[in-house]
Amino acid sequence: MTPLDTAAPDLDRLLSPRSIAMVGASNNLNSIGGLVFANLKRSFSGPLYPIHPKDSEVQGYLAYNCLQDMPQTVDLVVIAVASHAVEGVMEQAVAKGVGGIVLLSSGFAEAGAEGIALQQRIADKARAAGIRVIGPNCIGYLSIGGGVMANFALTPDEPLPPGGGVALVSQSGGFGSYLTTKGLLTGLHLGWFVSTGNELDVNIAQVLRYLVERPEVRVLLAFSETLRDPEIFIEAARRAHTLDKPMVVLKAGRSEAAAKAAMSHTASVVGAADVFDAICRQYGVIVAGSMEEMLDLGMIFQDGRRVGGNRLAIMTSSGGAGVLLADEAGMNGLAVPTFPEDEQDKMLLVLHRPFFGNVANPIDTTAAARPEAIGALLNVLASSDSVDMITTVTWARAIGAAKDLATYYQRTSKPMAVLSTDLVEPLKQAGVPTYTDPQRVAKSLAALYRHSVRKPLNEPGWQYEPTRAARARRHLQLPPGEYVLMEAQGKRLFAEYAIPLTREEWVHDLDEAVAAAERIGGKVVLKVMSYQLPHKSDVGAIRLGLQGEPEVREAYLSMLAEVRQRAPHATLDGVLVQQMVPARMELTCGLQRDPLFGPMVAIGLGGVLVEQLAQTALLRPPFDLDMARAALGQLLQGRLIQGRRGLSEHEQEQVATIMVGVGNLALELDEVEEVDVNPIRVANGLAFAADALVVLAGRSSTMEHQ
Amino acid sequence: MTPLDTAAPDLDRLLSPRSIAMVGASNNLNSIGGLVFANLKRSFSGPLYPIHPKDSEVQGYLAYNCLQDMPQTVDLVVIAVASHAVEGVMEQAVAKGVGGIVLLSSGFAEAGAEGIALQQRIADKARAAGIRVIGPNCIGYLSIGGGVMANFALTPDEPLPPGGGVALVSQSGGFGSYLTTKGLLTGLHLGWFVSTGNELDVNIAQVLRYLVERPEVRVLLAFSETLRDPEIFIEAARRAHTLDKPMVVLKAGRSEAAAKAAMSHTASVVGAADVFDAICRQYGVIVAGSMEEMLDLGMIFQDGRRVGGNRLAIMTSSGGAGVLLADEAGMNGLAVPTFPEDEQDKMLLVLHRPFFGNVANPIDTTAAARPEAIGALLNVLASSDSVDMITTVTWARAIGAAKDLATYYQRTSKPMAVLSTDLVEPLKQAGVPTYTDPQRVAKSLAALYRHSVRKPLNEPGWQYEPTRAARARRHLQLPPGEYVLMEAQGKRLFAEYAIPLTREEWVHDLDEAVAAAERIGGKVVLKVMSYQLPHKSDVGAIRLGLQGEPEVREAYLSMLAEVRQRAPHATLDGVLVQQMVPARMELTCGLQRDPLFGPMVAIGLGGVLVEQLAQTALLRPPFDLDMARAALGQLLQGRLIQGRRGLSEHEQEQVATIMVGVGNLALELDEVEEVDVNPIRVANGLAFAADALVVLAGRSSTMEHQ
């Protein structure tokens, strides 16, 4: 673990430039060069220089023939020329001392070996000169606040985005443009869009890390295909959490096929998507389940409203819509409380007579309610102490009603979401979160609630303890060619990390075994220790439930006889005499090293149904007992720690101690590739590591213990 | 069980009228009467008579002052007058011999006691006269094929729905109107919409049963709040399955709060929504997870295309969209196969050079592809034997591309779905299933695939067997005031239904017990039988794992002594000596009687984690072994029957035998209210009912055994 610089990268000259030049700017509005320059023109207020090899004017702006000819330097150079010409332009940019480059051109790493080499040369030049580069093979970026439309995500004939608190980041240019367009159609108040393309320098994580510090940004949306900078990503998540700016990620490559390909060489059942989801959960990032969900969440977060509770008022003129909204609210963790009598009376006062609707909640105004009554009801809801949030229903054709709702939205500070048959202009303009499905209303409000009441990120410190590490490493001294510790060694390693173990002794003859069994007391287990016999039961190298000298003696002898017969070539190294503890339930705890995020500790169900349940929660160390217990709380939808048969408080703490121990071991001992504590036996308020598989790095294959 | 008439109800005069009168037709276009008559006018080609107490003409049509004045009768009367006037109109309608009534008026059952009485009187009159009635408190119906716009779901200034294969049914008028409007905005080719309101006569199930037989209907969508006619609903589902017309239901009242309220008096943990979902699964009805999902499925099914396989071609100009579509396809059970070389070569032939995209699948055309190339690619896909379905991506602004896609859609017979930033007119008009989210594309195509390859509904016959029932009933003869069978009685009852039982004997003295234990062999369990001791372990009325005479003898005596001390007032009725069988896994099987759907057999996980897992599958008897095994396959996402530790073939069959036995028992013995087989012990290829709780109807409360 080397300390990393996780301060926000200095991308100011690149992303908040005060002057811009564009190489490849063109008078041909059907070319990308023409289109991007037309975009730049329409909103940038600082100096803007088109660069054109021949034309002296581009779209009404004085043009220079090359960067060198410019009278002064610029913060940002946008490049839209053929890939073979980019190296020359780079050299001029370096000479000129520019701050950043948006490289729109294609034909780099996506175009074979030559392109890869070219991209590397450009990257080297940029790094040497300290120039930050976005792209290549991207569609640029937009910053409405900064007036920078350095992109072809939108065409110049499309309206300028309204600006606002939403920042959208996407590696993919084409899909980024798709998202931008759809976001704007949806009513997203988009202030930033950045596409990073091939990421020869700046990547998604860095852009998020930069944008999270921008005061105008209120919510960050990211479409991620490949994450290149996990530490920066996590730091962006930490800052987002601290600054109360929700970060929502849509991750490509979730399907089983994709996950399989990404699976680590340890052949774990945990796919890459699970690790990513776990990281997001641990650091407070929201994982969107679909593209529309990401945009939906952008809308609910874009104006920065927060709530103290989960109580929702539902107002509709249709009973059916009310029931469906109440259903979805309930299923997503929101409450739909009945209004107290006095508030119901207030509402009845403003409604028509006779009134056949309902003001309990959901409020059913019936179709007979006049617009003034709707407004008056909304005022009652705004001042009500009984609800935290409001949702109401409208029809896309009812433009007047939409205008009223927009006005009302701006008057109240309570979060509000509207269900509409389709999106309508007045609601979009006012930034009212508007959804076309009751489920999307409820999911969005529920996400707002969860974010509002989130706890501070629990970030335990962790310190390398050299004496402990040195002690632990004594147990890792294996003969050449061996990479899997014998169980008895693994247990000694575990003991250094305070992992609760069954009482046990490693003995080397019969009398010692009998004496050990007596010291341990109760029923014991005997296990033959050998590097060659990781699967003890396959060769009879284990005996269970022994009590008293005669049983132990007989079992010891018969076990060794059986092993010598069934595994004649195995070198035996004594016998582990182990206390046999009861188990109401079995769990497993494992360590795997993710190629991207590093060590990940998994906790899951064990025992008979282990394959059937396939339930795992993951944590990235360092983490503390509370975080470990919270991870236990994720299993079986929280039911593992509930009910008569669930884990008791103290059992949870014991299991959490095992998890923390494995996490600390992972951080301290890089050479430990894999740990499997299976089973953890749980009963009567206690939990013990009853077996230990520890694998060191360096094996060419993991087949031997599969 | 009384046989029910499940033939399609004769609603022809009501829903396919050849002549219509409207009472309450008005010249005031702002009134409902004016609006509905204007709707009727614009599409009905048969005789249409406005009825108005004073005006001699309504909206250009000759008006009669009352129904009696009409020269002849009509098939359908639409009524839109105040509720107090409806009874009089009814009498005239009866006198005139009309066929059906659409009663739009409000102020009936939804408006208190008086309204309820009024509604009942109308219902009685209609039934006596054989007039079928839709409503009251509804917004009517539309049938584009029949030219009937007897509704105010749409206003006369909105375009007429295009007609088509989609039929939509909703109890709720307001929400029905909402759905209709949204469906039309979405591009649904809506041919029918029926709202049933208070359902004084015709209900949703009957409308579905009627519409499923209509040749023009290709897919049925229903929004259901209260289902009144379960047998008709199931018959509609059967017919839909047979006629290859998917039926999609969105059910209100799914949230826990709603489910709790609907929970049967047996205090089961199975909520009403679970029962409804199970019924739908059993009879092939698709349960929509959200409103938009219902409409999405309407679109994918509206033109009747089907597939033979699940292989999807993805074509896009954006790699990111392609990855996301492939992800969603994979997660929803679709395959995205790589095209064979020769097909890839065909595609490369029509693409530009140099081509930096991909034709393996997803096909990434890159943004450089010309429209002709896209068309040519689509032709390759249409004739490809490697894929069954096609999806492609477009931008809402690209109207030209949308027109091309619409044309192409009509040329191919393969199902095709389009991902677009927004819905666009050319695609809507052509009926091309178009979605704004990759997940919705994949879910819709996956539903189409599953429906296309669905198996015939397995409908085992079931015959009441009087001799078996008589034998079984001998075990149900309990003393007055007792409703819970003793375990030994329950087991004898189970034996009549071929439920696999552990070997056991019911004995009444010590020597018998010892002899029984010897006959049974191996380890045995002793259990005290008493009506007062359903919870044996609470009073020490059970002894486990006994082998050999001394153990049995000692346990028998100490058990009885303990029970006499701890439950001195209990009347004991002997001891059950039971074979103790091993259990790798424990399951439970229960019978509950749902207030709506009747007997439902539940199969779930038992044992230590029973509360934690809370996993249950439900079946409505009669069902056979195959259906029971399929239900087992639903548990733990299919993993219960997989893997080394999962249920073996023979274990599945044994468990299925228990389920079928419980189902038959439920059908044959109405007086059995509840059955709980817990645990079913499973090991070594066998499964046994190891306990039996049988509760008879008539108890005022179930508290005693909770």
Is residue A3's pLDDT more than 50?
Answer: no
Q: Give the CATH architecture of domain B503-580.
A: 2-Layer Sandwich (3.30)
Instruction: State the sign of the Cα–Cα–Cα–Cα dihedral B329, B331, B332, B334.
Output: positive
Task: Kindly identify which residue of chain B lies nearest to residue A295, measuring between CA atoms.
Answer: B437
Q: CA torsion sign, A105 to A109 to A113 to A119?
A: positive
pLDDT digits (tens, 9 = 90+) for B27-66: 999 999 999 999 999 999 999 999 999 999 999 999 999 9
Can you give the pLDDT at residue A263? 38
Q: Residue A268's pLDDT is what? A: 36
Second-level CATH architecture of B12-301: 3-Layer(aba) Sandwich (3.40)
> In chain A, which among 23-42 make CB contacts under 8 A with chain B?
none
Q: Is the pLDDT of residue A705 over 70?
A: no
Q: At CB < 8 A and 24+ separation, what contacts does A515-521 make? A: A516/A577, A517/A546, A517/A549, A517/A552, A517/A577, A518/A549, A520/A577, A520/A578, A520/A579, A521/A579
For residues B316 and B363, give the distance between their C-alpha atoms in angstroms, rounded to a whole number: 6
pLDDT at residue B700 tops 80 = no
Residue of A nearest to B195 (CA): A320
Helix (H), strand (E) at residue B282: helix B272-282
Query: Are the CB atoms for A495 and A501 separated by under 8 Å?
Result: yes
What pLDDT does residue B209 have?
97
Report the C-alpha dihedral over residues B51, B54, B58, B60, rounded to 10 degrees. Answer: 120
Instruction: Give contacts of B173 with chain A, Cβ < 8 Å.
Output: 318
Chain A's closest residue to B327, CA to CA, is A255
CB B252 within 8 A of CB A320: yes
Residue % of chain B over a pLDDT of 90: 76
Local structure of B58: helix, strand or coil: strand
Listed in sequence order, the DSSP H helices in A465-619 are: 466-473, 487-496, 510-520, 549-566, 610-613
Query: Is any Cβ of chain B less than 8 angstroms from the Cβ of A462?
Result: no
When scoring A114, A154, A249, A255 by the number of chain B Cβ atoms within 10 A, the one with the most, hence best to mutate, is A255
On the question of pLDDT at B704 being above 70, the answer is no
Say whether residue A252 is in contact with chain B using an 8 A CB cutoff.
Answer: yes
d(CA A385, CA B173): 32
Task: Please judge whether B356 and A642 are an interchain contact, meaning their C-beta atoms are less than 8 angstroms apart.
Answer: no
> Each residue of A375-396: pLDDT tens digit?
999 999 999 999 999 999 998 8
Q: Which residues share a beta bridge with B418?
A: B392, B434
Using CA atoms, how far apart are residues B176 and B196, in angstroms rounded to an integer? 10
Question: What phi and psi, each to the nearest 5 degrees, are found at residue B502?
Answer: -65, 155
Q: Which CATH class is domain B585-705?
A: alpha beta
Among A434, A422, A371, which Cα is nearest to A395's? A422
Residue with tokens 């080609």: B45
- Split at pLDDT 50, 70, 90, the class of A569 is very high
DSSP element (H, E) containing B287: strand B286-287
Which chain B residues are within 8 Å of A292, Cβ to Cβ? 436-437, 439-440
Chosen for mutation from A178, A290, A358, A634 (greatest number of chain B CBs closer than 10 Å) is: A178
Average pLDDT taken over every residue of chain B: 91
List, for residues B639-690, the tens digit of each pLDDT value: 788 877 789 999 999 999 999 999 999 999 999 999 999 999 999 999 999 9
Listing DSSP states for A148-190 in one string gives: EEEESSS-TTSPPP---SEEEEES-HHHHHHHHHHHHHHT--E
Confidence band for B260, pLDDT divided at 50, 70 and 90:
very low
Question: B642 and chain A: CB distance < 8 Å anywhere?
Answer: yes
Q: How many CB atoms lie within 10 A of CB B500?
A: 17
Which letter does DSSP use for residue A360 in this model? S
Residue in chain B closest to A421 (alpha carbons) equals: B182
| CB contact (8 A) between residue B256 and residue A331 | yes
Instruction: Identify all chain B residues contacting A319, using CB atoms and an 8 Å cutoff.
Output: 172, 174-175
Chain-chain contact of A254 with B331 (C-beta, under 8 angstroms)? yes
Q: pLDDT exceeding 90 applies to what percent of chain A?
A: 76
| Chain A residue nearest residue B644, CA to CA | A611
In B, which residues are within 8 Å of A257 by CB distance? Answer: 326, 330, 336
On chain B, the residues whose CB falls within 8 A of the CB of A323 are 172, 225, 252-253, 258
Residue-wise pLDDT for B298-346, tens only, equals 999 999 999 999 999 999 988 788 889 999 999 999 999 999 999 999 9
Residues facing A591 on adjacent strands: A601, A675
Mark yes or no for CB contact B327/A436 under 8 Å: no
pLDDT category, A363, cuts 50, 70, 90? very high
Give the whole-angstrom CA distance, residue A196 versus residue A199.
6
A538 touches chain B (CB under 8 A): no
Tally of CB atoms within 10 A around A141? 27
User: Which residue of chain B comes nearest to A112, CA vs CA?
Assistant: B356
Cα dihedral B627, B633, B634, B639, rounded to 10, equals: 180
Least confident window among A171-185, A261-275, A385-399, B241-255:
A261-275
For domain B312-452, the question of CATH label 1.20.1730.10 is answered with: no
Compute the average pLDDT of residues B188-213: 96
Residue A264, pLDDT > 70, answer no
Give the pair of three-digit tokens for residue A611: 């394959």
- Preceding omega of A621 cis (within 30 degrees of 0): no
Look at A91-100, A347-356, B490-499 and tell me which has the smallest mean pLDDT: A347-356
**Which residue in this structure is represented by tokens 């303890």?**
A465
Chain A neighbors of B106, CB-CB under 8 A = 356
Name the band, by pLDDT with cuts 50, 70 and 90, for residue B256: low
B584: pLDDT confidence band, cut at 50, 70 and 90? Answer: confident
pLDDT score recorded for residue B267: 32
Cβ–Cβ under 8 Å, residues B44 and B149: yes
The answer, for A644 touching chain B at a CB cutoff of 8 Å, is yes
- For A323, the closest chain B residue by CA position comes to B252
**Does the structure show a pLDDT above 80 at A607?**
no
Q: Tokens 């997660």: give the residue.
A: B331
Helix axes A649-668, A625-632, angle to 10 degrees: 120
Give the per-residue pLDDT at A262: 39
Q: Which of A294, A612, A635, A644 has the highest number of chain B CBs within 10 A, making it the mutation to test binding with B?
A: A612
Does the bond joining B621 to the residue before it have cis omega, within 30 degrees of 0? no
pLDDT at B23: 98
The pTM assigned to this predicted structure is 0.92
Of the residues A609, A645, A647, A706, the best mutation for testing chain B's interface (the one with the most B CB atoms within 10 Å of its CB) is A609
Which of A271-280, A513-522, B68-77, B554-563 has the weakest average pLDDT? A271-280
Rg (CA), chain A: 32
Is B585-705 the same fold as B503-580? no
Q: Is the pLDDT of residue A293 over 50?
A: yes
- Provide the residue type at A370 as one letter: R
- pLDDT reported for residue A320: 83
**CA of A169 vs chain B CAs: smallest distance (Å):** 13
Contact at CB, A636 and B642, closer than 8 angstroms: no
Question: What's the whole-number average pLDDT of chain A?
Answer: 91
The confidence score (pLDDT) of residue B266 equals 30
Mean pLDDT for B254-275 is 52
Determine, for residues B321 and A175 on separate chains, whether the beta-carbon distance falls below 8 Å. yes
CB contact under 8 A, B258 and A327: yes
Strand-pairing partners, residue B674, are: B695
Q: How confident is the model over B131-170, as pLDDT tens digits?
A: 999 999 999 999 999 999 999 999 999 889 989 999 999 9
pLDDT for the residue numbered A397: 82
B159 in contact with A at a CB cutoff of 8 Å? no
Per-residue pLDDT band at B3 (split at 50, 70, 90): very low
Residue B396 scores a pLDDT above 90: no
pLDDT digits (tens, 9 = 90+) for B557-581: 999 999 999 999 999 999 999 999 9
Helices (H), B416-548: 425-430, 438-452, 466-473, 487-496, 510-520
Q: Can you give the residue ranges of every domain in chain A?
A: 12-301, 312-452, 503-580, 585-705
Helix orientation angle between B399-411 and B371-383, rounded to the nearest 10 degrees: 20
User: Is A612's Cβ below 8 Å from some Cβ in B?
Assistant: yes
How far does A287 lie from chain B, in Å, by closest CA?
14
Among candidates B527, B535, B465, which has minimal Cα distance to B502?
B527
Q: Residue B452: what pLDDT?
A: 97
- Considering only A211-215, A244-248, B458-462, which range has the smallest mean pLDDT? B458-462
Instruction: Tell which of B327, B353, B634, B641 to mutate to test the A interface (max A CBs under 10 Å).
Output: B327
User: Which residue in B has a C-alpha nearest to residue A182's C-alpha?
Assistant: B421
